[in-house]
């Protein structure tokens, strides 16, 4: 069986802990590899090597670092199909989705090709007699990225590209469910010119993560995953004096106003609710039609669309709409939540339970489920299901729909479908959610903006990628310099006042 280790000092190495966890093929349920779980000692050694390598990398000027990003971007493009296949093999998502995963990460690498401009400081000429002020952005040192299973290419690239472009070394701890893509990306960035040791990929579980959080050399931690772990990591990293940004789970609502184009809204809900088996932090999991007429119109359009969805393995071709979920435990949890929805009185309009695919009976497939008449106290509303389940909460008015979203614990993404500009504008301004779509179901901002939720969807300051990432991965230093030849006549008085 394939044994997956780590990537240390520019080469793949086996783990020494003797501890492993299984990597499944989610379509068949078979174990296809085992991945090593690092000990604290292995993690500390990887950090120490990274700290040595970081000195030379920080001294490499930003334009040269950007050239590494350029070559890395080219290599990702050349290896697009190979990387997408690696993603789909371990995650189970369709190949077009796998390519999308790589593509959205590549777009962040492309922004990092502009690192010199993004790292430019500020300058004040003649802030006082003979006095100029300037600020510079300096790398932090060794930083860490801890990433989830659901985007095995995109999120590691969101972490590594800006961190490295800023002159840091990075310890990347990918999800133990999907470790292979990160290792391949490490090989490609070495080929692009990154010096050995500047990116270390260390696989592991809680022991490896805790070793990162307690290591004094690690200056910052960027985490993406579920809310309880995000909160835990944020707390422990901050207590240990590290900069931390920890992005958590979500429950994203879409309001459908009575004036919306109902066909377009239904198409959007099917893609945003069930794409990638609902395993997206920006998936729409709650539809909120306003008024009974809009709700009924939506049910009428959604049911045939959902029933037509094709569920299958990524190897079955590009007409598969979504694949299996990540583990047997995830499948059991999702089906348990669907049961709870029925027991708690929601109307199950499309039932995805008991789904089975010939030849893949042991795969972790879950059929699509659609609930109507969901209320906020039900478990299917309160919990992040992270599966192919769409809940419909009927709202009597626009204000009730907005209040529902405002009172929800999460605040990652949301959307509204409407033909009315005033309503759309009011929604965008009022709602307490980090990313808003107007007639756009999954408003993941483009790579030169930034990505981040509010409320329990994010802990810490600054968003991921874009200009915020360049702030997160650097420290600002401001210099006040006085050169006496610059003191102009009449300026002497002011000069004394400045002392
Ligand atoms: P997870 O929280 O289980 O795991 C994320 C990372 O944390 C992994 O690397 C894992 O090894 C590590 N980890 C797990 N348990 C830990 C523990 N007890 N102590 C220390 N580290 C631990 O998340 P997941 O299941 O891999 O990913 C799905 C979750 O990620 C969903 O909740 C989803 O909404 C969220 N997500 C959020 C965003 C965002 O940007 N807000 C993006 C993608 C996914």
Question: Which residues, listed in sequence order, are joined to residue 173 by a DSSP beta bridge?
Answer: 146
Joined together, the tokens standing for residue 32 give: 């296809």
Give strand pairing partners of 476: 137
The verdict on pTM exceeding 0.95 is: yes
8 Å CB contact between 38 and 211: yes
pLDDT at 138: 98
181 CA to centre of ligand 1 in angstroms: 17
What is the pLDDT, as a whole number, of residue 214?
A: 98
In the reported structure, the alpha carbon of residue 465 is separated from the centroid of ligand 1 by a whole-number distance in angstroms of 18
Domain boundaries, the chain: 2-248+457-480, 252-438
Pocket test for ligand 1, best of 229, 237, 385, 449 (most atoms within 8 A of CB): 229
Q: Which atom of ligand 1 is nearest to the CA of 147?
A: 9
Residue 116, judged by CB atoms within 10 A of its CB (0-12, 13-18, 19+), counts as middle
CATH class of the domain comprising 252-438: alpha beta
- What is the C-alpha to C-alpha distance for residues 148 and 143, in angstroms, rounded to an integer? 17
SS (H, E, C) the chain: CEEECEEECCEEECCCCCCEEEEEECCCCEEEEEEECCCHHHHHHHHHHHHHHHHHHHCCCHHHHHHHHHHHHHHHHHCHHHHHHHHHHHHCCCHHHHHHHHHHHHHHHHHHCCHHHHCCCCEEEEEECCEEEEEEEEECCEEEEECCCCCCCHHHHHHHHHHHHCCCEEEEECCCCCCHHHHHHHHHHHHCCCCCCCEEECCCCHHHHHHHHHCCCEEEEEEECCHHHHHHHHHHHHHCCCEEEEECCCCEEEEECCCCCHHHHHHHHHHHHHHHHHCCCCCEEEEEEECHHHHHHHHHHHHHHHHCCCECCHHHCCCCCECCCCCHHHHHHHHHHHHHHHHCCCEEEECCCCCCCCCCCCCCCCCCEEEECCCCCCHHHHCCCCCCEEEECCECCHHHHHHHHHHCCEECEEEEECCCHHHHHHHHHHCCCCEEEECCCCCCCCCCCCECCEECCEEECCCECHHHHHHHCEEEEEEEEECHHHCCCCCHHHHHHHC
Which ligand 1 atom sits nearest the alpha carbon of residue 176?
11
Nearest alpha carbon to residue 321 among 387, 284, 276: 276
- Best residue among 172, 225, 283 to mutate for probing ligand 1, ranked by most atoms within 8 Å of CB: 225
Token reading at 281 = 């932090």
d(CA 192, CA 433): 38
CA of 175 to the centre of ligand 1 (A): 8
- The rounded Å distance from CA 207 to ligand 1 centre is 15
Residue 485 confidence (pLDDT)? 82
Spatial CA neighbour of 481 closest among 30, 21, 133, 12 = 133
Tell me the CA–centroid distance for residue 176 and ligand 1, in Å. Answer: 10
Calculate how far, in angstroms, residue 248's C-alpha sits from the geometric centre of ligand 1.
7
The set of protein residues with a Cβ atom below 6 angstroms from ligand 1 is 146-151, 173, 175-176, 205-206, 209, 224-226, 229, 247-250, 281, 384, 386, 412, 453, 457
Determine the atom of ligand 1 nearest the C-alpha atom of 210: 20
Determine whether 112 is an active site residue: no
What is the atom index within ligand 1 of the atom nearest the CA of 177? Answer: 26
The minimum-distance atom of ligand 1 relative to the CA of 247 is 41
d(CA 19, CA 15): 8
Contact 274, 322 (CB under 8 A): yes
Instruction: Give the distance from CA 88 to its chain's centroid.
Output: 17
User: What are the tokens at 348?
Assistant: 């199950």
pLDDT of residue 318: 83
Structure-token match 């490295």, residue found: 164
> Please, which residues bridge with residue 372 across strands?
347
Q: What integer pLDDT is reported at residue 487 of this predicted model? A: 73
Please choose from 158, 178, 226 the residue to mutate so as to test ligand 1's pocket, defined by most ligand atoms within 8 A of CB: 226
Do 199 and 169 touch, CB atoms closer than 8 A?
A: yes
Residue nearest to atom 26 of ligand 1 (CA): 148
Catalytic residue among 166, 178, 246, 281: 281
Task: Kindly compute the dihedral angle of the four CA atoms of residues 430, 434, 439, 443, in this order, to the nearest 10 degrees.
Answer: 170
Nearest to 270 by CA among 248, 254, 290, 250: 254
CA distance 73 to 253: 34
Nearest CA to ligand 1 atom 17: 206
Domain 2-248+457-480 = CATH 3.40.605.10: yes
Take atom 43 of ligand 1 and give the residue whose Cα is closest: 281
Q: Which residues pair with 410 in a beta bridge?
A: 455
Nearest atom in ligand 1 to 205's CA: 11
- Going from the Cα of 208 to the center of ligand 1, the distance in angstroms, rounded, reads 14
Which is nearest to 448 in space by CA: 164, 107, 65?
A: 107
Kindly give the confidence (pLDDT) of every residue in the chain, 499 residues in length, as a single tens digit, with 9 standing for 90 and above.
Answer: 899 999 999 999 999 999 999 999 999 999 999 999 999 999 999 999 999 999 999 999 999 999 999 999 999 999 999 999 999 999 999 999 999 999 999 999 999 999 999 999 999 999 999 999 999 999 999 999 999 999 999 999 999 999 999 999 999 999 999 999 999 999 999 999 999 999 999 999 999 999 999 999 999 999 999 999 999 999 999 999 999 999 999 999 999 999 999 999 999 999 999 999 999 999 999 999 999 999 999 999 999 999 999 999 999 988 999 999 999 999 999 999 999 999 999 999 999 999 999 999 999 999 999 999 999 999 999 999 999 999 999 999 999 999 999 999 999 999 999 999 999 999 999 999 999 999 999 999 999 999 999 999 999 989 999 999 999 999 999 999 999 887 766 655 454 555 5
Counting from 1 in the atom list of ligand 1, the atom nearest the Cα of 386 is 31
Centre of ligand 1 from the C-alpha of residue 205, in Å? 11
**241 CA from centroid of ligand 1 (Å):** 22
Nearest one of 451, 459, 409, 399 to 432, comparing CA atoms: 409
**What is the predicted pLDDT for the residue at 489?**
67
């Amino acid at each position: 069986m394939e044994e997956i280790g780590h990537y240390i000092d520019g080469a793949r190495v086996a783990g020494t802990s003797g501890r492993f966890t299984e990597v499944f093929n989610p379509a068949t349920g078979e174990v296809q590899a085992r991945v090593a779980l690092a000990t604290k000692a292995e993690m500390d050694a990887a950090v120490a090597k990274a700290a040595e390598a970081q000195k030379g990398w920080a001294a490499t000027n930003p334009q040269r670092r950007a050239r590494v990003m350029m070559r890395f971007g080219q290599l990702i493009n050349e290896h697009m199909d190979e990387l997408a296949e690696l993603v789909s093999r371990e995650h189970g998502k369709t190949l077009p989705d796998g390519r999308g995963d790589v593509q959205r990460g590549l777009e962040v690498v492309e922004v990092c090709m502009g690192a010199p401009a993004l790292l430019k400081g500020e300058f004040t000429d003649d802030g006082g007699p003979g006095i100029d002020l300037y600020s510079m952005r300096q790398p932090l040192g060794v930083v860490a990225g801890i990433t989830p299973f659901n985007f095995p290419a995109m999120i590691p690239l969101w972490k590594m590209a800006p961190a490295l472009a800023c002159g840091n070394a990075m310890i990347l701890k990918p999800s133990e469910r999907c470790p292979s893509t990160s290792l391949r990306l490490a090989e490609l960035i070495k080929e692009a010119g990154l010096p050995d040791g500047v990116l270390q990929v260390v696989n592991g579980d809680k022991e490896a993560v805790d070793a990162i959080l307690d290591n004094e050399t690690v200056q910052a931690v960027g985490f993406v995953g579920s809310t309880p772990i995000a909160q835990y990591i944020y707390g422990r990293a901050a207590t240990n004096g590290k900069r931390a940004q920890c992005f958590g789970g979500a429950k994203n609502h879409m309001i459908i106003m009575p004036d919306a184009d109902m066909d377009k809204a239904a198409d959007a809900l099917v893609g945003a609710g069930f794409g990638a088996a609902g395993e997206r932090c920006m998936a729409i999991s709650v539809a909120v039609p306003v008024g009974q007429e809009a709700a009924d119109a939506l049910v009428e359009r959604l049911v045939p669309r959902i029933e037509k969805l094709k569920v299958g393995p990524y190897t079955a071709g590009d007409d598969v709409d979504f694949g299996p979920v990540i583990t047997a435990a995830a499948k059991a949890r999702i089906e348990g939540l669907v049961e709870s929805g029925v027991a708690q009185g929601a109307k199950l309009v499309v039932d995805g339970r008991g789904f089975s695919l010939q030849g893949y009976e042991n795969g972790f497939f879950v059929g699509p489920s659609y609930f109507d008449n969901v209320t906020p106290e039900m478990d299917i509303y309160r919990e992040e299901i992270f599966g192919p389940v769409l809940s419909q909460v009927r709202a009597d008015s626009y204000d009730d729909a907005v209040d529902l979203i405002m009172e929800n614990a999460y605040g990652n993404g949301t959307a509204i479908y409407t033909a009315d500009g005033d309503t759309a504008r009011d929604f965008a301004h009022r709602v307490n959610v980090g990313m808003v779509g107007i007639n756009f179901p999954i408003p993941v901002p483009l790579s030169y903006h930034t990505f981040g939720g509010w409320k329990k969807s994010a802990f810490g300051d600054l968003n991921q990628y874009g200009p915020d990432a360049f702030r997160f991965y650097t420290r600002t230093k401001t210099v006040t310099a006085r050169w006496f030849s610059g003191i102009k006549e009449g300026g002497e008085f002011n000069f004394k006042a400045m002392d």
